[in-house]
Amino acid sequence: MEYRNIPDIYFDSSYPKLYEKMENGKARTIYVSNEHGTVISHVLLRKIVISTEKQYYDLVTPYGYGGPIITSLKGDREKLIQSFFDEMTRFTKENKIVSEFVRFHPIIGNGIDFKDIYNSQFDRKTVGTNVRDYELEEEFSKSARKYIKRAIKAGITYEIIINPQEVNEFKEVYYSTMDRDQADCYYYFDDEYFEQCIQRLGEHVLYVKVYLENKVIAAGFYFVYGDIIECHLSGSLSEYLHLSPAYITKIATAKWAKEHGIHFIHYGGGTSRDQENSLYQFKKKFGKNTEFDFYIGKKIWNKKAYAELCRIKGIDSEVEYFPAYRQTKK
């Protein structure tokens, strides 16, 4: 189904299908359209593997950001949101949905519209480069500019490809980075994932390759949609970290964005809510003036079933982790 006014890759109907295998779920779309406007919400429907008399399911936002979004408003906003709530109530009851976890889009700010349904709460800041309203020298820190100059002087170059046919060199760099960071297996995207990205969303894939001589030593796998670039995945080879090739990935993307009318490059946030977090601080080097508020939403659609599942798992239903019944006991 085609929708108008889709502002970013996360709201494209093809995007959730990329994560069915990873999340062991099925992509579903809730669509509401009436005289007041249109709301869409892409979710992954997951089976809850806990032994009960009935088989239950829950919903989660596909990898990254998303949540329900008003794609057109023709009448009363509150009545449109109420219509969405009514449809979600029907959908969740019909499909035996217990709970839903939403990661709202930081730039779009759709968590504000649906705060009463999902009890939206601030989670952390995310960072971006605003290439439309600032010169790159204003957004990139002094130290970032220094590392970029040093890398260029060392002979580092780059190439940008839109709609690549293969990303084998990227995978080598990315897996090397995941090994170095001792990342969870969840983040080791397999060959099928990258093939599906190219097949379903290839025209939106921006592939940045950073070279030293003829060797790719860093790379970025990003999504371009409308006037937003989402920095999806990136990495650098360990033996070249002293040359700071990741900084070239950032400046290459920013220059391309400037030339092609992009508004924001979005990097996401840190690994924790602490603004002193090292990853957050690294990202701030490329967005001195630009950050966004990331909200999450938690909704229990079936309170009785939620309590039952928590009881069976021996988990306190009031813990911060959501949904509580999916928390792994330590």
pLDDT in tens, 266-314: 999 988 888 888 899 999 999 999 999 999 999 999 999 999 999 999 9
Domains of the chain with bracketed CATH: 9-125+294-326 (3.40.630), 132-262 (3.40.630.30)
**Cα→Cα distances 82→14, 113, 210, 282, 300, Å:** 26, 11, 49, 41, 17
The pair of three-digit structure tokens given for residue 47, joined into one six-digit string: 């089976």
Confidence of residue 252 (pLDDT cuts 50, 70, 90): very high
Environment class of 48 (CB within 10 Å of its CB; exposed 0-12, middle 13-18, buried 19+): buried
Confidence of residue 3 (pLDDT cuts 50, 70, 90): very low
In the predicted structure, residue 2 carries a pLDDT above the cut 70? no
Confidence of residue 184 (pLDDT cuts 50, 70, 90): confident
Q: Which of 41, 26, 23 is nearest to 83 (CA)?
A: 41
Q: Residue 137's pLDDT is what?
A: 95
Q: What is the pTM of this model?
A: 0.93
In the predicted structure, residue 223 carries a pLDDT above the cut 60? yes
Q: Residue 274's pLDDT is what?
A: 84
First to last CA, the chain: 43
Q: For residues 288 and 130, give the distance between their C-alpha atoms in angstroms, rounded to a whole number.
A: 9
| Tens-digit pLDDT profile for residues 49-105 | 998 889 999 999 999 999 999 999 999 999 999 999 999 999 999 999 999 999 999
Residue type, 79: K
| Tens-digit pLDDT profile for residues 22-38 | 999 999 999 999 999 99
Q: Which residues partner with 299 through β-bridges? A: 100
User: H helices within the chain, ranges in order?
Assistant: 20-23, 77-94, 115-118, 136-139, 142-153, 168-181, 191-201, 245-259, 278-284, 303-313
Q: For residues 42 and 63, give the distance between their C-alpha atoms in angstroms, rounded to a whole number.
A: 11
Q: Residue 330's pLDDT is what?
A: 59
Q: For residues 275 and 219, give the distance between their C-alpha atoms in angstroms, rounded to a whole number.
A: 26
Q: Residue 183's pLDDT is what?
A: 87
Residues with Cβ within 8 Å of 142's Cβ and at least 6 positions away in sequence, in order, are none
